[in-house]
């Protein structure tokens, strides 16, 4: 296994939460690009299980999902010989740095985070929302800052919704460096993904496809059977216009077209020409077959991966990256006078 170094160029940190079933939004918006960028960047891929527990998880399911997500990342082309793949909770340095950063971050900075407001409101149905949300959910961005800053990350590719958290990580790093008159933390750059990387729900195309969506048929899962994919796409919400073109005002068909575009890698003009004069039903049938065709090799590879092999890759991944994380923690402790 290649030792942890920077020979592959700029370092990129990316995370995925084992908070549910991986869907084509995760794949098209993140995992596919991760796999394709492995020769260009020095990539760190982290299964962020500590982030997942900021909202309620069933322990048995969580454990299963951690391994499942790792297996899917491997099946999608993440190559542990080229990239680092590990589980966040396997390295105590993440929580250790997170605590230290907690102590140097003003509360007011966290109070501005819009994702906490949205996610804690989402829990309002359980009882009283904000008051019932965990401290961990409020503190989520600090843990994310620790993930990024531990590894001297150059670039953090995120969707629009996460860019505020990377800005916060930058502010925390700058403030810490100023307080201790050091260059201990590298200031990461945020890289916002293109609009086409945002896949919306099939039943509610106004909201992004999400692991935690409670709407039946809203997400196409990477491990969905061909019949399930056909059923979800045929039942996807559209409108009565019945013209297959990229019109953002018609969110349902627009989203299906973006999925088609992302999987087929055809240009928008070519897709519109192909479906000129044809209705939604014909387009949906083709889209379903395209998605099935693209997911089949991933599913095949995933089904052949023994659990023991996945566990070994995750263990090796953590061991490979551990020295880097521990070195940074040691430096930080020295600077602030701990230990
Ligand atoms: N709908 C989406 N379209 C494009 N990209 C998406 N991602 C998530 N949903 C979409 C990208 O997938 C990567 C991993 O996401 P995550 O697991 O860290 O958390 P998330 O963004 O909160 O994903 P989910 O699926 O919506 O999970 P839950 O429901 O648990 O919150 C990220 O790069 C993300 O941008």
Work out the burial of residue 57: count CB atoms within 10 Å of its CB; fewer than 13 is exposed, 13-18 middle, 19 or more buried.
Answer: middle
Nearest CA owner, ligand 1 atom 33: 30
Residue 115 confidence (pLDDT): 85
Nearest CA owner, ligand 1 atom 11: 26
Residue 122 confidence (pLDDT): 63
Mutation to probe ligand 1, out of 159, 196, 222, 255 (largest number of atoms < 8 A from CB)? 159
Residue 176 confidence (pLDDT): 97
What string of DSSP letters covers 224-292? --HHHHHHHHHT----S----S--TTSHHHHHHHHHHHHHH---HHHHHHHTTT--HHHHHHHHHHHHH
- Dihedral sign from CA coordinates of 312, 317, 318, 323: positive
Alpha helices in the chain (DSSP H): 24-26, 32-36, 49-52, 59-75, 93-102, 107-111, 114-122, 135-150, 163-179, 226-234, 251-264, 268-274, 280-304, 307-336
What string of DSSP letters covers 305-317? S-HHHHHHHHHHH
- Candidates 159, 156, 184; CA nearest to 172 is 184
Mean pLDDT for each 10-residue chunk of the chain (339 residues)?
A: 57 96 94 93 97 95 97 98 97 98 96 86 58 90 98 91 93 97 96 76 95 93 98 97 95 97 95 96 98 98 98 98 97 95
| Active-site residue flag, 211 | yes
Domain coordinates in residue numbering, the chain: 11-197+307-336, 226-301
Q: Contact 11/44 with Cβ under 8 angstroms?
A: yes
- What CATH number has the domain spanning 11-197+307-336? 3.40.50.620
Confidence (pTM): 0.93
Angle between helices 307-336 and 93-102 (to 10 degrees): 40
CA distance 222 to 70: 13
Residue 197 confidence (pLDDT): 66
CA distance 115 to 148: 18
Residue 218 confidence (pLDDT): 98
Nearest CA owner, ligand 1 atom 12: 26
Residue 297 confidence (pLDDT): 98
162, 230, 253, 270, 296 from 220: Cα distances, Å: 22, 10, 15, 25, 13
Ligand 1 interacting residues, C-beta cut-off 6 A: 15-17, 19-20, 25-26, 29-30, 158-159, 197-199, 208-212
* Tens digit of each residue's pLDDT (9 = 90 or more) over 184-230: 999 999 988 765 568 999 999 999 999 988 899 999 999 999 999 99
Residue 144 confidence (pLDDT): 98
| Active-site residue flag, 63 | no
CA distance 206 to 97: 37
CATH superfamily of 226-301: Tyrosyl-Transfer RNA Synthetase (1.10.240.10)
Atom of ligand 1 nearest to the CA of 193: 35
């Amino acid at each position: 296994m290649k030792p942890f170094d920077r020979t592959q160029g700029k370092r990129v940190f990316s995370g995925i939460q084992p908070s549910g079933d991986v869907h084509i939004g995760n794949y098209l918006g993140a995992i596919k690009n991760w796999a394709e960028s492995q020769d260009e960047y020095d990539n760190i891929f982290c299964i962020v299980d500590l982030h997942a527990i900021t909202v309620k998880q069933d322990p048995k399911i969580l454990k299963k999902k951690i391994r499942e997500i790792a297996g899917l990342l491997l099946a999608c082309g993440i190559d542990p010989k080229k990239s680092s793949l590990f589980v966040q909770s396997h390295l105590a340095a993440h929580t250790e740095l997170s605590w230290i950063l907690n102590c140097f971050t003003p509360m007011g900075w966290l109070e501005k985070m819009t994702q906490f407001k949205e996610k804690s409101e989402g829990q309002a149905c359980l009882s009283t929302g904000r008051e019932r949300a965990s401290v961990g959910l409020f503190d989520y961005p600090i843990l994310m800052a620790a993930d990024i800053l531990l590894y001297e990350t150059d670039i953090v590719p995120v969707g629009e919704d996460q860019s505020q958290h990377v800005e916060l990580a930058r502010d925390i790093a700058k403030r810490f460096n100023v307080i201790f008159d050091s260059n201990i933390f590298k200031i990461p750059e945020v890289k916002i993904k293109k609009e086409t990387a945002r896949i919306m729900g099939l039943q509610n195309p106004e909201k992004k496809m999400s692991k935690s969506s409670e709407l039946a048929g809203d997400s196409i899962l990477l491990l969905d059977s061909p019949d399930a994919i056909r059923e979800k796409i045929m039942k996807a919400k559209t409108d009565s216009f019945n013209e297959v073109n990229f019109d953002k005002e018609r969110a349902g068909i627009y989203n299906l077209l973006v999925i088609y575009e992302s999987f087929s890698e055809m240009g928008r003009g070519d897709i519109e020409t192909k479906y000129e004069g044809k209705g939604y039903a014909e387009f949906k049938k083709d889209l379903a077959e395209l998605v099935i065709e693209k997911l089949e090799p991933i599913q095949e590879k995933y089904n052949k991966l023994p659990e023991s092999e996945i566990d070994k890759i995750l263990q090796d991944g953590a061991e490979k990256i551990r020295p880097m994380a521990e070195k940074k923690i040691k430096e930080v402790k020295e600077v602030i006078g701990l230990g």
